[in-house]
A and B are shown apart, each in its own frame.
Chain A
Amino acid sequence: MKGMSIIVKTIANFTFPFILIYGLYVIAHGHLTPGGGFQGGAVVASGLGLMLVAYGSEWISKRIKEHDLSLLESLGALAFIGVAFCGIIFGGVFFSNFLVGTGNLFGGIPLNGAADINSGGTLPLMNFAVGMKVIAGLFAIILVMALATLKKEDAI
């Protein structure tokens, strides 16, 4: 797949940072506002898909390798299960929320509905892990499909 015209590239350049920031905001505020790892990861992956459509799969495959995406997705899955197993070690139960109420990292409890980002226990960590996994997984699907069609067009 080749890149599109200069108009599309300019608009994609302009909107890409906003999509990225919005997706990361949805991931980071998953325990406070609607959203979470899955939703924010889908937003960021669609932003990367916009860059792929605008600039073409050759341009983007030089910058983002599919191997690295697989690595990132596996790391996200391992972090998710690792936090869950830390619940066994520190809290006694699988998926136990062992960080809440300790006052350390993410240990606060919001009072009277106040939105404090330093709260939620293990929920923000799991949101980050799932977000990393969804970003890498969804964009790996788009990238691999685009590269497969590219090679087939060359063969014909």
Chain B
Amino acid sequence: MNKREYLGALFLTIVAVIFIFSALSMHPFGSPTEGDMDQYIIDNTVEETGANNGVTAVVFDYRGFDTLGEATVLFTAVAGVILIFRRLKK
């Protein structure tokens, strides 16, 4: 093994140790910790947004700014692909 492979093995070990520690410190599977925000959204979604679908209410109303970023990501991806392939076409 040369120097580069030792370096790669070292990095992989560090990443694996970090992942194992974070997996051990997670809450048990199937029993998420409840926050105040969860119960608030469950109780008030229909009155505040008028939508039956709570997920859409969170995505487009409570976390609308996050969706704006998501749409920007899609827009940037499409613009980049069109830019590259239009150049290829000629």
Contact = CB atoms under 8 A, between A and B. Distances in A.
B48 A77 contact: no
A118 to B, nearest CB: 9
A34 B50 contact: no
Interface string A124-156: 001100100110011011001101100110000
Contacts of A133: 71, 74-75
Interface of A: 30-34, 36, 38, 66, 70, 73, 77, 80-81, 84, 94-95, 97, 100-101, 106-110, 113, 115, 119-123, 126-127, 130, 133-134, 137-138, 140-141, 144-145, 147-148, 151-152
Contact of A144 (B48, B64, B75, B85): B85
Contacts of A31: 50-53, 56-57
Given A95-B65, A130-B71, A123 B49 contact: yes
B85 to A, nearest CB: 4
21 contacts: A33-B53, A36-B56, A36-B60, A95-B65, A97-B49, A100-B48, A101-B50, A109-B50, A115-B52, A121-B49, A121-B51, A122-B61, A123-B51, A123-B60, A126-B60, A126-B67, A141-B81, A144-B85, A144-B89, A151-B90, A152-B88
A148 B52 contact: no
Nearest to B70: A38
Contacts of A95: 61, 64-65, 68
Contact of A110 (B50, B61, B64, B88): B50
B75 A77 contact: yes
Nearest to A147: B89
Given A34-B55, A137-B74, A141-B77, 4 more contacts: A31-B53, A36-B59, A97-B48, A121-B61
